[in-house]
Amino acid sequence: MIVNKICEDLTEKIITDQLSNNDLVQIIEHVGGYLNLCTISEYAKKNNLRYNGVKKFRTVKQIFKIKFVIDNL
């Protein structure tokens, strides 16, 4: 599976110090942009919706103990 290969490559590059913390943050930001990642409250404000409506009717995933809306349609 391609996701496993990507994870393996990232792990190798992290272990061999080919990627810095800043590099990893850049990767997270890059991928987050494709996911249109927002916290529930950010998403609700941006789209003039109520928090509970977003929580119930949008795709919400917990990442690093924070709930994010994924809206990459």
Mean pLDDT rounded to a whole number for the chain: 95
Order the strands of the 60-63 sheet from edge to edge.
38-39, 66-69, 60-63
**What is the greatest pairwise CA distance in the chain?**
46
Torsion of CA 17, 23, 27, 30, to 10 degrees: -160
Note the pLDDT of residue 72. 85
pTM of the full predicted structure? 0.78
Examine the pLDDT at 2 and tell me if it is beyond 80: yes
